[in-house]
Amino acid sequence: MTGYKVVVVGATGAVGQEILKVLEERNFPVGELRLCATSRSAGREMVFKGNSYRVEETTPSSFDGMDIALFAGGAASKEFGPLAAEKGVVVIDNSSNFRLDPQVPLVVPEVNPEDVKWHKGIIANPNCSTIIMVVPLKAIYDAAGVKRVVVSTYQAVSGAGAEGITELTEHTRAFLDGGRVVPSKFQYQIAFNLIPHIDVFQEMDYTKEEWKMVKETRKILHDEQVGITATTVRVPVYRSHSESINVETERKLTADEAREVLAVFPGIIVEDDPARNKYPMPLFTSERDEIFVGRIREDNSLDKALNMWVVADQLRKGAATNAVQIAELVIKYGCLGKR
């Protein structure tokens, strides 16, 4: 086969647009492309590899004859994902609908690529913050084991979609002009502010976003014994999430050893030179697929622990790129049409 029949659901959203961009950049073998979205976006024209495509409303027939369905997130996958899988389409889903389902692989290609092989029609893409953490965590896990992780995230407004981007712009203008700031997408003014509240509050007063990082990481690592606690914070940055990660290891790993294992791990760029003020920042990691790691240092309060500062573009590696990489694995392992 010279190309595969691919349908992108939610094509007009922020992640959907990134998926199209990544498919083109990585020269994914698309033989036929179908773009779908809600009825509000149906009829819109989008361009892929120089050709114009009309967006269709997502219906059950959208998946007829297709090989791979890339769901950009939201409620659509819950309604149409199982139906598409029943038709023999491999569903790669960016929503949280199937991530913790024991029958659905949760995959980060640099960490657990083999899990793709046991899919039953649906493969879940992890939460963006989980992906950004678990790649460097896996490098440390393989080298020295991991007992406990304490992570604090600093998440860009684009993680909340196009509305988040718009709201940061509007709040900034209103604040600087002395006008009235009216929160809509976020709980409070986001310009010149931090909000330690992403998604809804759940048990023990942790948010759903925080529990995602705990539960998804354990599933991806196949290790329910790793202790993980998270605090997720929305910050007034347009793009790229940052994470402060403290890792307690099973055996002692020096900062130099950690730099070495991180530097050779797939998908990671070590940017760590304090003497020259070199460390990862959202401004310079946007539009990139790599996960940047810096500020690597031994914990001064524990003998077997490290601190890392990790930054990556959550729309790309945290969503679109990871999804396309999963699709590449499906082809590599010959997993098309499995149920």
For residue 110, the domain's CATH number is: 3.40.50.720
- Where the chain has pLDDT below 70, the residues are 1, 338-339
Provide the 8-state DSSP code for 318: I
Q: Note the pLDDT of residue 74.
A: 84
Chain centre to alpha carbon of residue 315: 7
Helical axes 14-25 vs 321-332, angle rounded to 10°: 50
Based on the residue annotation, tell me whether 241 is a catalytic residue of this protein.
yes
For residue 265, the domain's CATH number is: 3.30.360.10
**Count of domains for the chain:** 2
Coil/strand/helix, residue 245:
strand
List 46's β-bridge partners, or say none.
53
Catalytic residue among 36, 119, 171, 241: 241
Catalytic residue among 119, 128, 197, 335: 128
Check whether residue 86 and residue 218 sit in a common domain: no
Q: What is the pTM of this model?
A: 0.96
187: containing domain: 130-314
Check whether residue 310 and residue 170 sit in a common domain: yes
State residue 306 phi and psi, 5-degree precision.
-135, 155
Q: Note the pLDDT of residue 339.
A: 40
Check whether residue 202 and residue 59 sit in a common domain: no
Q: Note the pLDDT of residue 160.
A: 93
pLDDT tens readout for residues 102-114: 999 999 999 999 9
Check whether residue 96 and residue 164 sit in a common domain: no
Does a structural domain hold residue 337? Answer: no
Query: Burial level of 217, CB count in 10 A (0-12/13-18/19+)?
Result: buried
Planar angle of CA 227, 228, 230, nearest 5 degrees: 160
